[in-house]
Amino acid sequence: MQSLRHQRIRKVLKREAGGLLRQHLSIETYGLVSVHEVFVSGDLKHAKVLLGHVGSVTQQKAASVYLSTHRGEIQKEMSCRVVMKYSPQVKFSFDDSIEKGNNVLSIIDELEDSDDSPS
């Protein structure tokens, strides 16, 4: 269980990361990129931002390349917006759990449809 301070910092970092991604990543070029979750280390020096993506695979790869090359610039803008003693080192990674969940649901629907049809 994280402290109330950790929870508030995660919430603020999530909001600011989302705003910065909207500024940096255009929907036409990179697809829709959203922030799912932010995890912060105990000493608040590292943050992992889990991202969701709606769009093609090439758009996701382009967004991933952009984020890896411009991570320092985005991190600097975040540190200007969120004033802390130590600004966390940010790592971006794409979360495909929603996509996996949709695949599981489609498999369940197929199984239910095959059980309903008479043989």
Which residues are registered as beta bridge partners of 94? 51
The model's pLDDT over 36-78, given as tens digits with 9 standing for 90+, comes to 999 999 998 999 999 998 888 899 999 999 999 999 999 999 9
Q: Identify whether the C-beta of residue 47 lies closer than 8 Å to the C-beta of residue 92.
A: no
Structure confidence at residue 118 (pLDDT)? 60
- Domains in the chain, number: 1
The chain-wide mean pLDDT, for the chain, equals: 89
| Joined tokens for residue 100 | 């996996």
Structure confidence at residue 111 (pLDDT)? 87
Residue 119 has pLDDT above 60, yes or no: no
pTM of the model as a whole = 0.79
Q: Tell which residue, 12, 106, 14, has the closest CA to residue 52.
A: 14
Q: Write the burial class of residue 26 (CB in 10 Å: 0-12 exposed, 13-18 middle, 19+ buried).
A: exposed
Domain span holding position 41: 4-116
Structure confidence at residue 38 (pLDDT)? 94
The model's pLDDT over 17-41, given as tens digits with 9 standing for 90+, comes to 999 999 999 989 998 999 999 999 9
Structure confidence at residue 102 (pLDDT)? 81
